[in-house]
Amino acid sequence: MRLKDRTALITGAASGIGKAIALRFAEEGARIVIADQTDEPREGGAKTLGEIEAMGGEAVFTEMDVANWTSVDSAVSFAVEKYGALDIIVNNAAIGVSKPILETTEEDWERVMGVNARGVFFGCKRAIQQMLTQPERDGVRGRIVNISSQHGMVRSPNDFAYGTGKAAVVYMTRQIAGDYAADGIVCNAVAPGKILTGKSGPASDPAILAYSHARTPWPRLGLPRDVANAVLFLASDEATYITGENLMVDGGWMAN
């Protein structure tokens, strides 16, 4: 019960990695605010809220558009009104368009950066506003975990906007960690490698899977729970004297 009596807001928590993080946090006793544009999992299956309630956990769903400040503000305010504080925020929501720069339209760019960069900016800013009002607990007022990507540090093949947005997440994580450490706010990131979420589309294209296998030393590709375990560590009190880090969960991709 590493997160007992903690409130965690997780963006994009209806599906994939976000859902896995929500379920893992609930297993460890957190009160979960599932923040997403819909409560329907993109990969199908049971809803996050239903699964948490089935395990005896506590959670609520709130509709949220990470690219809209009013929506982000409302979601955080809702979490605080419901549970009294915001101990953890996980900025997980992200999108891509799978296009190289010459095929990326201005509309594509704005849409992807709106979620992947502006959405993390809004989530961090609103969380910090709230966390600064909260008392310290063992020197910490709140924890931010951003989901970046190995493609924020190396080329994202033929997905120019996605990789650029994820690079921004890595930078924001370090900037916030330095600026607000004295205030007791911890900010880290987790960078997944290739994670099999079960969704269709480019992510499950045989050529992309073959490329990912070739780049990954570990004999299997990643699963959402692999990422969730790393996020759990950084969101817990076990992560002491750690801030501004970008933790790879990539099966050795970046070491290869």
pLDDT bracket for residue 152 (50, 70, 90): very high
Catalytic positions? 162
Q: Is the pLDDT of residue 17 over 80?
A: yes
For 160-192, the pLDDT digits (tens) are 999 999 999 999 999 999 999 999 999 999 999
The architecture (CATH level 2) of 7-255 comes to 3-Layer(aba) Sandwich (3.40)
**What's the pTM?**
0.97
pLDDT bracket for residue 203 (50, 70, 90): confident
Mean pLDDT of 72-87: 98
* High-pLDDT (> 70) share of the chain, %: 100
Beta strands in the chain (DSSP E): 7-11, 31-36, 58-63, 88-91, 142-147, 185-192, 246-249
Which pLDDT score, from 0 to 100, does residue 242 have?
Answer: 98
For 96-116, the pLDDT digits (tens) are 999 999 999 999 999 999 999
